[in-house]
């Protein structure tokens, strides 16, 4: 019998595998496709706080996660010698109406109180029109100094290097029993503790909620990488109405993402992504004429209450789950605790 079997080599599975190893456990990771084959390999990599007003425990937890992430990543980079591309680049939020300006200006005071000096929220009267289109920001923009970005694929590669040679690919989970996982082809692995970290796939292994609804579902997102003229280093992220423009350094920008409840294939892209690119181009003139170099899609793990789902399986013994990252999994993964699993 194995000590711990983690199923899924996304950001949740790899993070927990590393933490469990550090706690002295022997860990095997079973993955259907390859490291980062799911939502975690998003080209966006935005690490953005919730709005600073109406503060609540969920916002506080995310604030603490954003605050602790740089030290965590520095330690991972030191250990592996690999870059995660973390940068506190900030985020511009264009103000399209007088009302939006009033709402966001009130939030400046909330940010002083709730972000506790970690970063400012401030109004920019005239953002650089070569980066944020003047027509998109008739009332200027807000600059959120707490927002950051990360190279999600670099982050995954560093975690994979840290956990070492414990990932077995080509292992497609079919069914779970008490302390036992059954994979396609019939292979069975027994373990003292099994961690179900298969992202959006995890919900099908969970009992229905009291309401009779599934515990969660996949929500598809599409994103693209564009090649532009000039270096985007030092530029802030732009965010407006569900559309992100994320500078990725030399001549590279990521845009996204769609939010789709109904879909046939999680990894296919379509005209909804073209529309997203058009929205992004209307926000950021630097994208005019840009070449699309990657089209990407995956399903986000969205729990019914949109929260993280980390803890023991309600029915199966020796099985724990770690999913529900939804739109902030990259920001939150490092806060998952081994002690929360049991």
Report the nearest approach of ligand FAD to the CB of residue 162 (Å). 15
Query: By CB under 6 A, is residue 325 in contact with ligand FAD?
Result: yes
Rounded Cα distance, 74 and 51, in Å: 26
Q: How many residues bind ligand FAD (CB under 6 A)?
A: 41
Judge contact between 244 and 258, C-beta under 8 A: no
Among the listed residues 33, 58, 106, 306, the single contact to ligand FAD using CB under 6 A:
33
Report the nearest approach of ligand FAD to the CB of residue 14 (Å). 8
Rounded Cα distance, 124 and 121, in Å: 10
Site string for ligand FAD, 94-123 (x = CB under 6 A): ------------------------------
Rounded Cα distance, 209 and 240, in Å: 34
Judge contact between 279 and 247, C-beta under 8 A: no
Window 273 to 312, contacts with ligand FAD (CB under 6 A): 298, 300-301
Judge contact between 241 and 256, C-beta under 8 A: no
Report the nearest approach of ligand FAD to the CB of residue 143 (Å). 18
Judge contact between 104 and 142, C-beta under 8 A: yes
Alpha carbon of 183 to those of 31, 116, 180: distances in Å?
10, 48, 10
Among the listed residues 157, 330, 336, 341, the single contact to ligand FAD using CB under 6 A:
330
Give the up-direction half-sphere exposure of residue 305: CA atoms within 13 A in the CB hemisphere: 7
Report the nearest approach of ligand FAD to the CB of residue 101 (Å). 26
Among the listed residues 5, 38, 89, 281, the single contact to ligand FAD using CB under 6 A:
38
Asked if omega into 290 is within 30° of 0 (cis), the reply is no
Site string for ligand FAD, 234-273 (x = CB under 6 A): ----------------------xx----------------
In this structure, is the dihedral angle defined by the CA atoms of residues 10, 14, 20 and 24, taken in order, positive or negative? positive
Window 163 to 192, contacts with ligand FAD (CB under 6 A): 171-173
Contacting residues toward ligand FAD, per CB under 6 A: 7-13, 30-33, 37-40, 42, 44-46, 171-173, 197-199, 201, 221, 223, 256-257, 298, 300-301, 323, 325-331
């Amino acid at each position: 019998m194995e000590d711990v079997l983690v199923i899924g080599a996304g950001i949740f599975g790899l993070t927990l595998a590393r933490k469990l190893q550090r706690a002295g456990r022997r860990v095997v990771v079973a993955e259907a496709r390859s490291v980062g084959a799911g939502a975690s390999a998003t080209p966006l990599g935005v690490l953005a706080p919730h709005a600073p007003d109406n503060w609540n425990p969920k916002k506080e937890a995310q604030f603490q996660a954003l605050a602790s992430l740089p030290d965590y990543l520095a330690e991972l980079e030191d250990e592996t010698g690999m870059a995660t591309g973390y940068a506190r680049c900030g985020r511009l939020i264009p103000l399209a109406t007088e009302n939006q300006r009033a709402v966001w200006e009130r939030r400046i005071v909330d940010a002083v109180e709730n972000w506790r000096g970690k970063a400012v929220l401030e109004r920019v009267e005239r953002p650089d029109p070569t980066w944020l289109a003047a027509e998109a920001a008739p009332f200027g923009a807000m600059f959120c100094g707490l927002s950051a970005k990360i190279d999600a694929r670099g982050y995954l590669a560093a975690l994979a290097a840290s956990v070492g040679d414990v990932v077995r690919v080509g292992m497609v989970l079919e069914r779970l029993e008490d302390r036992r996982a059954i994979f396609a082809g019939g292979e069975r692995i027994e373990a003292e503790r099994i961690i179900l970290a298969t992202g959006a796939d995890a919900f099908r292994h969970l009992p229905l909620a009291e309401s009779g609804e599934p515990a969660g579902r996949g929500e598809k997102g599409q994103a693209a990488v564009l090649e532009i003229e000039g270096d985007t280093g030092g530029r802030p992220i732009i965010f407006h109405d569900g559309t992100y423009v994320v500078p990725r350094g030399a001549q590279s920008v990521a845009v996204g993402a769609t939010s789709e409840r109904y879909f046939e294939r999680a990894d296919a892209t379509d005209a909804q992504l073209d529309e997203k690119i058009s929205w992004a181009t209307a926000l950021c003139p630097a994208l005019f004429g840009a070449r699309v170099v990657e089209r990407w899609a995956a399903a986000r793990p969205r729990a019914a209450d949109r929260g993280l789902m980390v803890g023991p399986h309600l029915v199966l013994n020796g099985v724990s789950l770690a999913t529900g990252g939804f739109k902030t999994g990259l920001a939150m993964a490092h806060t998952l605790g081994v002690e929360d699993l049991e």
